[in-house]
C-alpha cells in the first residue's frame, strides 16, 4: 500500500489553528475526541494536518471551544472544505513540496507583499531571468529540473492576472536590480518587464536605493501573505534548504514592521519606475 502523502502547509495550518483554539479554551484532546466521537489519537493527527477534518467538525469544535469570532471560524471552515485540484498539483512528485506550498499559499492569499534583496520578485520573472536564477543553484540542477522550475514559476504569475488578481506590493532593493542574472540583455529585458508590470492597477513596485543604508531583514527574501482574516496571515522565507513558513504572532509582527519600514523609506511607485528604467538604460 502506498505511503500517505505528507500534509501541505495549508493542511498543517488548519490543524495548528484548531490546536490553538483548543489550548486557548483549556480543553484536552480527550474532550475534543469526545465531541467528535473519535479516538484521541485522531485529534492529534487532525491538529498536525495529517488527518483531514470536515467543515461540520470544524464548526463543532469551534463552538465548543467558545470561539465567538464568526468570520475566523468561517475562514477555517473554508480551509476544511474539499477544494478543486490546484494547478500546482501537476508538479507534485517532480518538484519539491515546498515550491508547491508557496503556490498554494499565494493562491489563497487576500494580498501579497514581498521584499527582495538579491533578485527581482519571482512573481515578476521573465522566463530567461528565472532560468538564470535556477541555473545558479548548487548542487547544479539538470536541464529538466530547471525547466520544470521555470514553468512552475511562470504559472504562479497567473495570480496577478485578470480573473485571479489580488493586491501585490513588491519591495526591491537596488542591489537586486543591478545583479545581472543571465547577463546584461536578460537583465535589461527583466527590468523593462518590471516597469511594464508596475503599470498594472493591482501591482505596486517600490525600490529601496542603496542610499537608504541599513535596513531590517537585510539578506532575507520575504513573502507576507495576508489571509482572508488577520489570524491566518503567513510569512514565507527563502533559505538554502528550501522555503520556511511561519505564522507565530511574534514573527508576523516582526515582518509586518519590516514591511512598514520599507513602505516609509522606499521610493514611490512612479519614482521606482523611473529608477528601474534608468538602470535598464545603463545595460
Task: Write the CATH number for 45.
Answer: 1.10.260.40
Average pLDDT of the residues in 177-204: 97
- The rounded percent of the chain whose pLDDT value lies above 90 is 90
Q: Are 167 and 111 in the same domain?
A: yes
Whole-angstrom Cα distance, residue 33 to residue 73? 19
Q: Are 123 and 251 in the same domain?
A: yes
Whole-angstrom Cα distance, residue 258 to residue 47? 30
Total domains in the fold of the chain: 2
pLDDT at 164: 76
pLDDT at 2: 41
Residue 114 has pLDDT above 50, yes or no: yes
Q: Are 187 and 237 in the same domain?
A: yes
Q: Are 146 and 17 in the same domain?
A: no
Q: Are 68 and 94 in the same domain?
A: no
Higher pLDDT, 211 or 4: 211
Q: Are 149 and 76 in the same domain?
A: no
* 2 assigned to some structural domain: no
C-alpha cell at 236: 514565507
- Kindly state the DSSP code that residue 242 receives in the 8-state scheme: S
pLDDT at 217: 74
Range of the domain at 152: 88-282
Average pLDDT of the residues in 152-176: 93
- The rounded percent of the chain whose pLDDT value lies above 70 is 98
Q: Are 150 and 260 in the same domain?
A: yes
pLDDT at 1: 35
pLDDT at 133: 97
| pLDDT digits 0-9 by tens, 259-281 | 999 999 999 999 999 999 999 99
Last residue of a domain, one of 59, 80, 101: 80
Average pLDDT of the residues in 71-100: 95
Residue 215's pLDDT band (boundaries 50, 70, 90)?
confident
Whole-angstrom Cα distance, residue 102 to residue 133? 17
Neighbours of 281 (CB within 10 A): 10
Q: Are 131 and 63 in the same domain?
A: no
Average pLDDT of the residues in 179-189: 98
Residue 240's pLDDT band (boundaries 50, 70, 90)?
confident
Last residue of a domain, one of 45, 64, 80: 80
Q: Are 264 and 138 in the same domain?
A: yes
Average pLDDT of the residues in 13-29: 97
Last residue of a domain, one of 58, 80, 102: 80
* 3 assigned to some structural domain: no
Average pLDDT of the residues in 166-186: 97
Cell 483554539 found at: 21
* 115 assigned to some structural domain: yes
Average pLDDT of the residues in 129-156: 97
Q: Are 168 and 28 in the same domain?
A: no
What does the DSSP assignment read for 7-65? PPHHHHHHHHHHHHHHHHTT--HHHHHHHHT--HHHHHHHHTTSS---HHHHHHHHHHT
pLDDT at 38: 94
pLDDT at 3: 47
Residue 220's pLDDT band (boundaries 50, 70, 90)?
confident
Q: Answer whether 266's CB lies under 8 Å from 124's CB.
A: no
Whole-angstrom Cα distance, residue 250 to residue 202? 29
pLDDT at 58: 97
Residue 162 has pLDDT above 90, yes or no: no
Q: Are 235 and 255 in the same domain?
A: yes
Amino acid at each position: 500500500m502506498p505511503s500517505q502523502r505528507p500534509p501541505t502547509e495549508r493542511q498543517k495550518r488548519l490543524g495548528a489553528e484548531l490546536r490553538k483554539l483548543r489550548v486557548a479554551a483549556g480543553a484536552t484532546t480527550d474532550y475534543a475526541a469526545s465531541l467528535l466521537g473519535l479516538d484521541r489519537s485522531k485529534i492529534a493527527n487532525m491538529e498536525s494536518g495529517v488527518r483531514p477534518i470536515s467543515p461540520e467538525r470544524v464548526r463543532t469544535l469551534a463552538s465548543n471551544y467558545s470561539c465567538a469570532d464568526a468570520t475566523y471560524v468561517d475562514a477555517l471552515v473554508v480551509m476544511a472544505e474539499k477544494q478543486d485540484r490546484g494547478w500546482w498539483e501537476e508538479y507534485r512528485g517532480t518538484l519539491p513540496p515546498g515550491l508547491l506550498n508557496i503556490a498554494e499559499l499565494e493562491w489563497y492569499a487576500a494580498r501579497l507583499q514581498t521584499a527582495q534583496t538579491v533578485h527581482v520578485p519571482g512573481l515578476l520573472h521573465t522566463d530567461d531571468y528565472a532560468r538564470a536564477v535556477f541555473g545558479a543553484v548548487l548542487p547544479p540542477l539538470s536541464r529538466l529540473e530547471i525547466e520544470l522550475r521555470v514553468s512552475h514559476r511562470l504559472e504562479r504569475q497567473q495570480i496577478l492576472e485578470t480573473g485571479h488578481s489580488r493586491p501585490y506590493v513588491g519591495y526591491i532593493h537596488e542591489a537586486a536590480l543591478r545583479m545581472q542574472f543571465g547577463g546584461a540583455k536578460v537583465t535589461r529585458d527583466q527590468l523593462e518587464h518590471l516597469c511594464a508590470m508596475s503599470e498594472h492597477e493591482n501591482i505596486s513596485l517600490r525600490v529601496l536605493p542603496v542610499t537608504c543604508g541599513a535596513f531590517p531583514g537585510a539578506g532575507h527574501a520575504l513573502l507576507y501573505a495576508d489571509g482572508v482574516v488577520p489570524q491566518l496571515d503567513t510569512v514565507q522565507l527563502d533559505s538554502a534548504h528550501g522555503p520556511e513558513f511561519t505564522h507565530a504572532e511574534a514573527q508576523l509582527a516582526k515582518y509586518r514592521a519590516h514591511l512598514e519600514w520599507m513602505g516609509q523609506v522606499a521610493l514611490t511607485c512612479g519614482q521606482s519606475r523611473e529608477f528601474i528604467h534608468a538602470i535598464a538604460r545603463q545595460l
